[in-house]
Amino acid sequence: MSLRSTPTLLQLAMQSLMRDEALAISSLQDLPMELFPPLFNDAFTHKRFNILRKMVQVWPFPCLPLGGLMKMKASYLDILQTVLEGIDALLDQNIHPSSYKLRILDLRALHKDFWTVWAADTMASCNPEAKSKRKPQRRGPKILTKPNSLQVFIDLFLKPRALNTCLSYVFQWVRERKALLQLVCKKLRINTVGIPSIVTVLEVLDLDCVEEVEVCCAWKLSTLAVFAPYLGQMKNLLTFILCRIHVPDSVTPEEKQQLVSQVGSQFLNLQCLQDLSLDSICVLKGEMDQLFRCLVAPLEILSITDCQLSESDLKSLSESPGIRQLKHLNLSGVNLTNLSPEPLCALLERVAPTLKTLDLENCMIMDSQLNVFLPALSQCVQLIMFNYIRNPISMAFLERLLYHTAKLSCLSLEMYSTPWEIYGAQGALHHRRLDELREELSKTMMNLEHTRTVWFSVAPCLPPDNQAI
Beta bridge partners of 413: 385, 453
Residue 466, sorted as left (phi over 0), alpha (psi -120 to 50) or beta, turns out to be left
Q: Rounded to 5 degrees, what are φ and ψ at 82?
A: -65, -45
Q: Give the per-residue pLDDT at 129.
A: 44
38 occurs within a structural domain: yes
- Residue-number span of the structural domain to which 115 is assigned: 9-120
Q: What is the pLDDT of residues 123-148, one digit of tens each?
A: 444 444 444 334 455 555 565 566 66
Q: Give the per-residue pLDDT at 9.
A: 66
174 occurs within a structural domain: no
Q: Give the per-residue pLDDT at 22.
A: 83
64 occurs within a structural domain: yes
Name the residue type at position 251: V
204 occurs within a structural domain: no
70 occurs within a structural domain: yes
3-class secondary structure, 103:
coil
Cα atoms in the Cβ-side hemisphere of radius 13 Å centred on 386? 28
User: 363, 335 in Cβ contact below 8 A?
Assistant: yes
Q: What is the tally of structural domains in the chain?
A: 1
Q: What is the pLDDT of residues 318-337, one digit of tens each?
A: 999 999 999 999 999 999 99
DSSP state string for 116-151? TS-GGGSHHHH-TTPPPTTSPPP-S--PPPPTT-EE
3-class secondary structure, 68:
helix
53 occurs within a structural domain: yes
Q: Give the per-residue pLDDT at 466.
A: 46
18 occurs within a structural domain: yes
Query: Does pTM top 0.75 for this prediction?
Result: yes
Q: What is the CA 117 to chain-centroid distance, rounded?
A: 30
Q: Give the per-residue pLDDT at 12.
A: 67
Q: Give the per-residue pLDDT at 447.
A: 66
Q: Give the per-residue pLDDT at 315.
A: 95
CB neighbours of 43 closer than 8 A, spacing ≥ 6?
18, 51, 52, 55
Q: Give the per-residue pLDDT at 440.
A: 74
- Distance (Å, whole) CA 22 – CA 288: 67
104 occurs within a structural domain: yes
Low pLDDT (below 70) residues in the chain: 1-17, 94-100, 112, 117-148, 424-429, 444-450, 465-469
Q: Give the per-residue pLDDT at 444.
A: 67
420 closest CA partner among 402, 446, 394, 457:
394
- Distance (Å, whole) CA 392 – CA 457: 11
Q: Give the per-residue pLDDT at 110.
A: 80
- Distance (Å, whole) CA 20 – CA 26: 10
Task: Output the CA torsion 364→368→371→377 (10° steps).
Answer: -20
Other CB atoms within 10 A of residue 116 CB: 11
Q: Give the per-residue pLDDT at 343.
A: 96
181 closest CA partner among 155, 161, 159, 209:
209
